[in-house]
Structure 1
Amino acid sequence: MKKIFLLVLLPVQLLAQTNPFAAFKAYNFPTELHAASSGSKIAWALDEQGKRNVYVAEGPAFKPRKLTSFSKDDGQEITSVSISADGKWVVFVRGGDHGANWDHGLPLNPSFETNPFHVQVASVPFDGGETKYLSEGDDPVISPDSKTVAFIKGGQAWAAPIDGSAAARNLFTTRGNVGLLEYSAGDSLLLFVAHRNDHSIIGIYTNGATPIKWIAPSFSFDETPHWSPDNKSIVFIRRPGAGGAPDSLLVQKHIPWSIYTADIASGKATLLWKAPATLRGSVPTTEGGYNLHWAANNRIIFLSYQDGWPHLYSIAADGGKETLLTPGNFMCEHITLSTDKKYLTFSANTGNGQLDIERRHAAKVSVDKADMHVLTNGSGLEWTPLLINDNNTLAFISATAQRPPLPAVMQLSKSDNAVQLMGEELIPTSFPKEKLIIPTQVIFKSADGVTVHADLFLPAGGTSKKPAIVYVHGGPPRQMLLGWHYSDYYSNAYASNQYLASLGFVVLSVNYRLGIGYGYEFHQAKNAGEAGASEYLDIKAAGEWLRKQTFVDAQKIGIYGGSYGGYLTAMALAKDSKLFAAGVDIHGVHDWASRSGLLTAYNEKYEKAPDLEKALKTAWYSSPIPYMKTWKSPVLIIHADDDRNVQFNESVDIINRLEKQHVTYETIMIADDTHHWMKWENAVTVYGAVAEFFVRKFK
């Protein structure tokens, strides 16, 4: 079979330089927006064609200033950006792959260094100066007095002076893996969780001479603890520990959880609120999970899907009925409690426009009443909003369909809602903004009646018939938007779809069931994934919708996607090669029976799930590999061999099967990068190859 190993034919650097997609990938991407606890200082991480650095700005001018000086496209991400309470220090983590499913803290080396960079906690003065690495470690928190940084190293709690004046030291050692560190506001007690396989317990560290205090230890998973404003109590989530008789695997079940408060002096825990025993009342699985906070006016804040949408709720710390703060058919994401703990800011797919369900806007609500209002309406997109400057200023990340994301501020005290962008001058002049088109909303129904939303990228050219591509996102709990995405991974996909459109392809980006943004039943769809792959019906419906359009060449419909999108691409090519004439499968999953863990889940147990055999068979036939005999369309397989989300062998296995079935295939293996294309040049190579493949097949 025909195989093209592009990385052997051309060095990666030369590919990036000669690859036309590089211009579309030339945007800068900000993440990790954080505000100081007082004043108007903000900080963020900025990825400039793989060169990742920390930037800061301060009101009233809010002029961006580069704080670090990392000058290589070496794949070392920057996460956990924070500013000390006194405003003098910025702390961050450099290295790792924090979107990984495993090994996120191990060194990453896509630049093939002989001495790979290890994940490290670093600090740098806000006013500028030397960046100091405090220690190997992750998940840092700064003490209230701005003198110490606590962090996790080797699954235990460590600390170091914020100025790097002394070596880091282990604070304590306990069984399990420690995480979720949080300092108390006044006396610097350190709250933490010890994860111990089938349960987890909450502890408090005082100092080296005082034993750890365990708070209401139980047989449950106790997690996400937070201090009360007076430091006398904590609030936390409790859910059942692992175990119990095996239950049906193919029936959706309620996943219970409850909110508890605990008195620190006595260690006694009290049940505050129990989630409704319904499917919607299960553990929330959108961004931030429970989004638990102890807010002002003695209110406990949390997120729940109980009314069918991921909404914010408030309940008095001494009990009572919860209050729905954000009613309506939309979701809440990127939730932050203001410094004075009186307000919540968040991004939501709602506003005064008919298409806002396909966007994100910044919103605000009080912690004790349902007075929510959207702060940024319009056709743009805004996310990760933060209140600063005594709640008079809103900081957020702003984008449109054509302008890539930028940090921004808006003065809430002014009625004109004017937005001040930061760093627009940093967008490279080579970025082809004028070539980007504005995607439009498309809605259609699948064969089983499910309503599906999609984003259509329609290139110029009138009604002439054009080749078309279905783009399938990964996750699957994601939503593709009518503009730039807030995820760096999906900003790649958005740029790729724009590039394909610039080449004359019609592109349809599908928000299939299992995705977010359209309510609980869509997100937690029945008979989906390993339980029946019902979401594939939405992908097939997208191809059929394209085939019916007068501007589409029905014989030239392709499909591509990464991760879960790679899985659904493989499903499409295996089951419906007559509809999908070619495809690109990027690090996709191909064998649910193995990946689900069902084959080994009961190895050490006499009892088995009552429907184990049926579940295994269903998982097998929810995978593309049982349909290899009907796979006829050519495919490009792409995978990096340090992937920490999907096993590399998924692609090795499918390639061997394609070879045996005499299916035309091509391959690109990226050495030592991960699922997220941490090295910019590798992303350019991958998405440039996607376009080049479809051009060869269809043009």
Structure 2
Amino acid sequence: MYRLLLPALLALSPLVHAERLSIERIYADPDLNGPSPRALKIAPDGTRVGFLRGREDDQNQLDLWQYDVAAGTMQRLVDSAALGEHRELSDAEKARRERERIAQLKGIVSYRWSPDSRKLLFSVDERLWLYDLDGKPGANLRALTPQGFEVNDAKVSPRGGFVSFVSRQNLYVIDLERNLNYQLTHDGNGTVHNGEAEFVAQEEMDRPTGYWWAPDDSAIAFERYDEAKVDEVERTEVYADHSATVRQRYPAAGRPNVSVRLGVVAPRGGRTHWVDLGHDTDIYLARVDWLPDGKRLSFQRESRNQRVLDLVVADLATQRQTTVLSETSPTWVNLHDDLRWLKNEDAFVWASERDGHKHLYVFGLDGRLRRALTRGTWDVDKLLAIDEKGGAAYFAANRDDPLQAQVYAARLDGSEADRARRISEGDGWHDAVFGDNATAWVDTYSDPRTPPQVSLRKPDGSRIAWIEQNELKAGHPYWPYRDSLVEPAFGHLAGEDGQDLYYRVYKPLGYEEGKRYPVFMTYYGGPGRQYVNRAWGAHFEQYMAQHGYVVFALDNRGTPRRGRRFSDAIFRQLGKAEVADQLAGVAWLKAQPWVDAQRIGIFGWSYGGYQTLMLLAKAPAAFAAGVAVAPVTDWSLYDTHYTERYLDAPQTNAQGYVASDVLHWLDGLPADKLLLVHGMADDNVLFSNSTKLMAALQQRGVPFRLMTYPGAKHGLSTPALKKHVYAMIAAYFDEKLAHAQAMASPPAPTAAAAAAR
């Protein structure tokens, strides 16, 4: 009932007494989203759900919690602050957290269940701990490594006999029964790394790990990479009180990648067996998976140009290899984590975009297609679980609405390929985590009016219990701002090629007919991220809407979840289709009677920052101002796997690189319309992208504004930096847009005034 009444209440309320968001509050404690659990994992026996939760006084300090299904109770198992040594993390761990976008988090940032569901493995400040649910209070924690011993990527073996981890570029194993430690590799040093994923695997291939346990604990497959041939980039990281010269191995587009090998070793050491990855050494080791028998190992080998992906099965006893499947594309093949080897059939489930949309299929080990599990003009997001006994496959997809994520079930025999059953409840966005054998799943649901709600569900979707209902009621952190909540409208418009472009728009709080309002236009616009969706969040957009702005976002071609025709429009030239689509959005805005066409400002971060620069340079008259945070300006400075996927190598598409670079279009970039922002220790989009832009603009005599952040990485991840950068952005648009022309009547408080409070 509350949901149904909310829009009406907002429309009728006088708004004078409604409390508006402030930037200070958005990034303060407690978290505005409410008590939202992270890293939800169902114990293998299904009796408990583990999760991480931020503290009331520090949302970024995570503790380990459990939900007991039978008892219906939640309990904090480990207070991370009591275990923390507060020591500096290693460079490897800092880099890993930056790659996984968790650089702002501290305490317990990840954990794993043991196979018997009685223990949990985690680290605090890189010291490894094992928590025993059956242990006596005060004696249920066991330190597995000494203080000061670097630990990364720790895992419990599938049968629970061992714990493994990477330290100082080598792979280690702890035999829990014998209480013995084994160092499995010894040559990790300098440019050689064992058991780790290389930079582009972590950053661009969504592969954070570099080793894989056999299902019977008999062996470990591991990656060994040597980055000796990768160019060293010398960059200066500028901090508040010092500067550091960093020599980073960075594989820029068109330049050499790491050399990769795949080894297999026993958990107590011994001779390493090396798997033949093929005659072409300039490849990507995309994925590694064991088959259920523990005797065969599969790996996915991606060509350097990313147009061929081979799935290879290696029999370790006979050393015989079979390429069971090859995916090809005239543009690029997208990687995924949707491979499942079946136990009751000599076959596997695999995702493919061969018909223009991502769908699930069953292939035999002979490589022949046996049947499709899903079909239609929509996209599977990911395979969530396989229940062979029940004959079902569970997956997330956008079948009902491109702006939603829902959970579905389909028969493994292919009989429901055209009519998969939706099992998630509520329109909006569902993130699902399934337990072993798909006996239960955890659903994290939200929509633009509902903060994330976490529930435990049966396979048919019916609710077993709330883990965190997180109702927006008195006592919730967002409750004081509920009457100022501006509900967005969603729609679509036609792009230049006729495809639908979906948008989200907020009218200003207290909107009045007859007024024309300034526009805060924002986007990501690049591959891999859908920006416009029916989910909770977008607090800064909400903030700008509450302080006098129309807020508009549109997903252009090149963004995901819309099929290959939509995504492939950017192939071999970036910043063309994206700009055309965003300008279609501008044309739509200018046609609205409540928009002041002379006061449209644009903002983007990372790829969105690149898009801001391209829009300002290619269509300067359309915008009054723009903010670009951490933008790529020269694609030859960005990494191999990402850049070559969309642009090919510079050696084969030189003109495409020129046309895609911001620097090529700078003669069109207007004076005094740009605020450029960059972290001075960014190791993803290197700071040199912005220094090249600065120098080029200065040579042309084009004035612009600049804010740099000493010591900050790509995400400007600390609360203090977030508050500073967003307050500055709000103030910049107030100056350029809100104060540029008087409104017909006094406006709502400006964003800058609210940020200053």
Between 555-564 and 144-153, the greater mean CA deviation after superposition? 144-153
For the pair 1:424 / 2:470, whether they are aligned, the reply is yes
The 5-angstrom pairing of residues 669-680 of structure 1 reads 669-680=708-719
**Cα shift at 1:519:** 0.6
| Alpha-carbon distance change, 458 to 263 in structure 1, aligned in 2, over 3 angstroms | same
Q: How does 1:454-533 map to 2 (within 5 A)?
A: 454-460=503-509, 461-463=511-513, 464-473=515-524, 475-484=526-535, 494-527=538-571, 529-530=573-574, 533=576
1:628 touches 1:657 (CA, 8 Å); kept in 2?
Answer: no
> Match of 1:523, SS?
helix
Report if the CA contact (8 A) 1:148-1:160 is conserved: yes
1:323 aligned onto 2:371: yes
- The alignment status of 1:405 with 2:452, answered yes or no, reads yes
Distance in 2 between residues matched to 1:613 and 1:216, nearest whole Å: 34
User: Take 2:22 and 2:181, find their aligned partners in 1: how far apart are those partners?
Assistant: 42
Q: Any conservation in 1 of the 2:24–2:723 contact (CA below 8 Å)?
A: yes
Gaps of 5+ in 1: 1-15, 95-116, 243-252, 486-490, 602-607
Instruction: Kindly indicate whether residue 271 of structure 2 is the aligned counterpart of residue 211 of structure 1.
Output: yes
TM-score normalized with structure 2 length: 0.73
- Spell out the pairing of 1:562-573 with structure 2 (5 A cutoff): 562-573=605-616
> What's the secondary structure of 1:67's corresponding residue?
strand
- C-alpha deviations, 1:490-513, integer Å up to 9, x for none? x5xx11111111112111112111
In the TM superposition, what whole-angstrom CA distance separates every residue of 1:541-588 from its partner, at most 9, and x where no partner exists? 222221111111111111001000001111222232321101211111
Matched, 1:259 2:304: no
Contact 2:33 2:478 in 1 (8 A): no
Q: Residue 236 of structure 1: SS of its match in structure 2?
A: strand
Q: 1:284 aligns with which of 334, 359, 364?
A: 334
Equivalent residues of 1:297, 1:368 under 8 A apart: no
- In the alignment, which of 226, 229, 232 is matched to residue 292 of structure 2? 229
Q: Which amino acid aligns with 2:565?
A: E
Structure 1 residue 434: deviation in Å? 4.2
> What is the CA-CA distance between 1:92 and the residue it aligns to?
3.8
For 1:674, give the aligned amino acid.
K
Distance in structure 2 (CA, Å) of the matches to 1:392 and 1:187: 24
CA shift for structure 1 position 161 = 5.8
- Cα contact 1:30–1:46 (8 A) shared by 2: yes
Counterpart code for 2:70 = P
Which of the residues 281, 297, 311 maps onto 2:359? 311
Q: Which of residues 631, 635, 638 in structure 2 aligns to 1:588? A: 631
Contact 1:190 1:205 in 2 (8 A): yes
Cα distance in 1, alignment partners of residues 265 and 392 from structure 2: 30
How far apart are residue 592 of structure 1 and its match? 2.9
CA distance in 2, matches of 1:209, 1:412: 41
Preserved contact between residue 340 and residue 350 of structure 2 (Cα < 8 Å): yes
Partner of 1:55: 65
Quote the residue 1:451 is aligned against: 500
Q: How does 1:239-250 map to 2 (within 5 A)?
A: 239-240=302-303
Within 5 A, what are the aligned runs for 1:285-434? 285=335, 289-298=336-345, 299-338=347-386, 343-351=392-400, 356-369=401-414, 371=416, 372-387=420-435, 391-412=438-459, 420-422=466-468, 424=470, 427-428=476-477, 432-434=481-483
Closer, same or farther in 2 for the Cα pair 1:437/1:584, shift >3 Å? same
Equivalent in the alignment of 1:181:
211
1:625–1:187 CA distance, 2 compared to 1 (3 A): closer
- How far is 1:308 from its partner? 1.0
Q: Partners of 1:479 and 1:537 in 2: how far apart?
A: 18
SS in 1 for 2:566: helix
Partners in 2 of 1:361 and 1:330 — Cα distance? 12
Q: CA deviation at 1:84?
A: 0.9
Residue of structure 2 in register with 1:83 after alignment? 113
Structure with the bigger RCO (C-alpha within 8 Å, sep 6+) is 1
Aligned to 1:247: none
365 and 184 in structure 1: CA distance in 2 versus 1, 3 angstrom threshold? farther
Matched, 1:43 2:43: no
Amino acid at match of 1:34: K
Report how far residue 208 of structure 1 moved: 4.2
Distance 1:682 1:433, change over 3 A: farther
Contact 1:385 1:394 in 2 (8 A): yes
Structure 1 residue 644 and structure 2 residue 688: aligned?
A: no
Q: Secondary structure at the match of 2:51?
A: strand
The answer to whether 1:144 aligns with 2:158 is: yes
- Kindly provide the amino acid, as one letter, of the partner of residue 423 in structure 2: L
Q: CA deviation at 1:306?
A: 1.1
Matches within 5 A, 1:91-170: 91-92=121-122, 121-126=128-133, 130=141, 132=143, 134=145, 135-160=149-174, 169-170=182-183
Residue 465 of structure 1 deviates from its aligned partner by 1.5
8 Å contact from structure 1 (residues 349, 358) kept in 2? yes
Asked whether the 8 Å contact 1:640–1:672 carries over to 2, the reply is yes
Any gaps of 5 or more consecutive residues in structure 2?
A: 1-20, 87-101, 197-209, 227-256, 739-757
Identity of aligned residues (%): 22
State the 1:376 CA deviation.
0.9
Q: 1:366 to 1:500 in 2, by over 3 A?
A: same
* 1:588–1:334 Cα change, 3 Å: same
Q: Distance in 2 between matches of 1:657 and 1:218?
A: 45
Return the letter of the residue paired with 2:357. Answer: W
2:46–2:440 Cα contact (<8 Å) kept = no
2:229 is matched with none
Aligned partners of 2:622, 2:465: CA distance in 1, in Å? 46
Distance in 2 separating the partners of 1:497 and 1:156 = 45
Distance 1:573 1:173, change over 3 A: same
What SS is found at the alignment partner of 2:184? strand
Q: Give the stretch that moved more between structures: 223-232 or 74-83.
A: 74-83
Q: Which residue of 1 aligns with 2:666?
A: 627
Report if the CA contact (8 A) 1:331-1:348 is conserved. yes
Cα distance change, pair 442–633 in 1 and its aligned pair in 2 (3 A): farther
Give yes or no for contact 2:628–2:675 (8 Å, CA) kept in 1: yes
Whole-angstrom distance in 2 between the partners of 1:150 and 1:366: 37
Indicate the residue corresponding to 1:27 in structure 2. Answer: 33
Aligned residues: 621
- The code of the aligned residue for 1:214 comes to W
* Shift of residue 382, structure 1, vs aligned partner: 0.5
Contact 1:199–1:219 (CA under 8 A) maintained in structure 2: no
Note closer, same or farther for the CA distance 1:60–1:685 as it changes in structure 2 (3 Å cut): farther
Change in Cα spacing, 1:147 to 1:475, as seen in structure 2 (3 Å) is farther
Deviations 1:356-405 (A, max 9, x none): 210111223455535432211432210133146x6442212221212332
Q: Matches of 1:325 and 1:681 in 2, distance apart?
A: 48
Q: What one-letter code is carried by the residue in structure 2 that aligns with 1:508?
A: F
Identify the residue that residue 618 of structure 1 maps to in structure 2.
659
> What is the CA distance between 1:329 and its match in structure 2?
2.4
Q: Distance in 1 between matches of 2:180 and 2:736?
A: 58
Letter matched to residue 451 of structure 2: P
SS in 2 for 1:405: strand
Partner deviation per Cα, 1:259-296 (whole Å, 9 max, x = no partner): 22232321211222222x4437x5224xxx25322133
Cα separation, 1, equivalents of 2:109 and 2:28: 26
Q: Distance in 2 between matches of 1:343 and 1:152?
A: 36
2:598 paired residue number: 555
Cα deviation per residue 1:576-630 (whole Å; 9 max; x = unaligned)? Answer: 23211012111111223544779x99xxxxxx977555344334xx425632454
Matched, 1:538 2:573: no
